[in-house]
């Protein structure tokens, strides 16, 4: 990860300031506020601001504060109850704002989560930096033969090198053409003072999807957990999962009781269909069951078996 001078200075300035407050804070998140956590080769995630903590969820659920009248164990138990029974509104009372630097193709996948407020770096107004994502060799793989949106086996070392060289060459070439279209070089010098460059809003279309963009992304806690449940999952694309894993660690710092309940009931919990519950009951009774007698499709049966680590 490479922070620009401006970004590093901004972080330093923010972290040098302190403010008195009457609101409840999250000690864990305060310790890392504004810190840039590296992701991929040039990306990062950092928390810019937040509202609420575990106590805010409890407060919203009880619709009264009564600080000091409840034990910590009771607050923890209530949060677990709320998440276990899908009472989502109290979790919507907490919000967090991230600054994220990510490849454009990851951003286009990420933006499908429409429950957040987003403000993205404008390439109509500013010139994009010469930063592009190149996967590590271990993350280069063939197309999966069974999953249309997944990866298969890893590429051979020889072909991996060829692919990486090709990606680098193309990315370098595209940026040089981007500069040419803008009529500027990387130092900002005019290449041809007798001719204006192409408008930035048009020149940007020549860049590939592995170039980095940035945005501020604000979301409530309920929808953040939904995002993390999908994107911090082993089936998610590696690149977006790398960001989700960092955000998952920040969730633990922010709301530790909620994080504990999230891992227990969502992230590492399980959901079963009606046929899945019936099949599970039969297995517990020692009855023999097959995919054909379960009422499940082959895909459902496979997922059911994997979820319970069964060898059926």
The three-state secondary structure class of 134 is coil
Distance CA 92, CA 115 (A): 11
Is there a contact between 133 and 102 (Cβ–Cβ < 8 Å)? no
Say whether 231 is catalytic.
yes
Residue 5 CA from chain centroid, whole number: 25
- Burial environment of residue 127 by CB neighbours within 10 A (0 to 12, 13 to 18, 19 or more): middle
The three-state secondary structure class of 120 is strand
Is there a contact between 234 and 303 (Cβ–Cβ < 8 Å)? no
Catalytic-labelled residue, pool 46, 204, 231, 241: 231
Nearest C-alpha neighbor of 266 from the set 312, 200, 221, 207: 221
Nearest C-alpha neighbor of 94 from the set 64, 49, 135: 49
Distance CA 254, CA 29 (A): 5
DSSP letters, 190-204, are BS-TTSPPPPHHHHG
The three-state secondary structure class of 211 is strand
Residue 20 CA from chain centroid, whole number: 31
Is there a contact between 220 and 95 (Cβ–Cβ < 8 Å)? yes
The residues assigned a catalytic role are 231
């Amino acid at each position: 990860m490479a922070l620009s001078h401006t970004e590093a200075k901004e972080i330093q300035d923010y972290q040098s300031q302190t403010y008195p407050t009457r609101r409840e804070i999250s000690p864990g998140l305060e310790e890392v506020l504004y810190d840039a956590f590296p992701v991929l080769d040039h990306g990062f995630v950092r928390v810019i601001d937040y509202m609420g903590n575990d106590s805010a969820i409890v407060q919203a659920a009880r619709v009264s504060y009564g600080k000091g009248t409840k034990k910590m164990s009771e607050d923890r138990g209530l949060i677990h109850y709320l998440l276990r029974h899908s009472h989502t509104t109290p979790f919507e009372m907490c919000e967090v704002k991230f600054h994220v630097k990510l490849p454009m193709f990851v951003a286009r996948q990420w933006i499908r989560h429409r429950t957040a407020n987003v403000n993205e770096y404008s390439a109509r107004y500013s010139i994009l930096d010469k930063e592009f994502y190149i996967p590590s060799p271990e993350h280069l793989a063939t197309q999966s033969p069974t999953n249309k949106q997944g990866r298969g086996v890893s590429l051979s070392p020889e072909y991996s090198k060829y692919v990486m060289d090709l990606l680098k060459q193309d990315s370098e070439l595209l940026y040089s053409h981007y500069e040419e279209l803008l009529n500027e070089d990387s130092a900002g010098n005019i290449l041809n003072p007798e001719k204006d460059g192409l408008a930035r809003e048009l020149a940007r279309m020549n860049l590939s999807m592995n170039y980095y963009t940035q945005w501020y992304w604000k979301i409530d806690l309920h929808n953040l957990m939904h995002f993390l449940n999908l994107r911090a999952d082993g089936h998610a694309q590696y690149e977006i999962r790398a960001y989700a894993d960092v955000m998952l660690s920040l969730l633990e710092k922010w709301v530790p009781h909620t994080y504990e309940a999230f891992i227990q009931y969502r992230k590492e919990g399980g959901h079963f269909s009606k046929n899945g519950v019936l099949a599970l009951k039969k297995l517990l009774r020692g009855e023999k069951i097959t995919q054909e007698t379960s009422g499940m499709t082959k895909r459902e049966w496979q997922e059911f078996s994997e979820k319970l680590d069964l060898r059926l």
